[in-house]
Structure formats: C-alpha cells, structure tokens
Amino acid sequence: MRDSPLPYCAFTIDVEDWYQSTIDFNAPISERVVANMEQVLSVVYQHNTKATFFVQGRVAETYPKLLQRILAEGHEIQSHGYSHRPLNSMNRTELTTELHLARQTIYDACGVWPTAFRAPAFSITKNNLWP
Ligand SMILES: [Zn+2]
C-alpha cells in the first residue's frame, strides 16, 4: 500500500542522439546525447522523481558511463533498440539481431538486462505482427 496521496505516474524518456536516430542511422552517436541527458537528469533530480529511460544500444556502447550514472541515480533502464531503425523496415532476422544487440550493449554498459522495449517511431504496425 502506498503512503502518497498522489496518483501513480510513469515518466519515461528515450535516450538517443537526435541526428543519428532521425536523419542518418549510420552517423556516429554524438556528445549531444550526453549534454541533453545532463539537463534531463538535472530536472528529474530537482523534482525528486524517478524515470524509466529507454536507451538505444548504440548510445549504450558509445557512452556506457551515461547508463551507469542513470542507474546510480536510481532510475530504470530499458531498451529502445540498437540502431533506431523503424521496426517495420526490418525482416524477422534483422529485427531479432536488432533486439539482441540492444539487450547485449545495454548489459555490457551497465550490467542490467533490459526487460522492456519501446519501438522507435511507433513502428509496430499490423504489417509486422508476425504470428
Ligand atoms: Zn526514439
């Protein structure tokens, strides 16, 4: 039973490098993601709240200390895929590789296996709901 009269609320953030995740999937992950996360973590801290961060695997392998910091500050880390390519642009083999790479790079960065996944760009559609 909770003590707080406040409603339950889930606060989630996608951790990705805007240019790489939106314009060029092959671009390097830039320090922009670290700078932006500094601001996000500062705001979350000021409001004394915790969040779930859906981290892209390429961010995890480029900036593992960022994931370690997120965990050290008491937040949850989950998977936002590896490359941020839309799932409906992949076949089953590519999707399996994408999801395994995301899980492994997050684990390698911070020692936590993600148990949840957020698809990039709302890319789960009726066309990729394979039986
Ligand atoms: Zn995203």
Q: How far is the CA of 15 from the centre of ligand 1 (A)?
A: 7
Q: What is the pLDDT confidence band of residue 2, given thresholds at 50, 70 and 90?
A: low
Q: How far is the CA of 73 from the centre of ligand 1 (A)?
A: 22
pLDDT digit string, tens, across residues 18-73: 999 999 999 999 999 999 999 999 999 999 999 999 999 999 999 999 999 999 99
Q: How far is the CA of 5 from the centre of ligand 1 (A)?
A: 32
pLDDT digit string, tens, across residues 91-128: 999 999 999 999 999 999 999 999 999 999 989 888 88
What's the token pair of residue 23? 């314009």
Question: What local confidence, expressed as pLDDT, does residue 130 receive?
Answer: 76
Q: How far is the CA of 56 from the centre of ligand 1 (A)?
A: 8
Q: How far is the CA of 14 from the centre of ligand 1 (A)?
A: 6
H helix intervals, the chain: 18-22, 32-46, 57-62, 64-72, 92-110
Q: Are 9 and 47 in contact (CB under 8 A)?
A: no
pLDDT digit string, tens, across residues 58-82: 999 999 999 999 999 999 999 999 9
Check whether 13 has a pLDDT greater than 90. Answer: yes
Q: How far is the CA of 21 from the centre of ligand 1 (A)?
A: 7
Angstrom CA distances, 65 to 37, 59, 62, 102, stand at: 12, 10, 9, 16
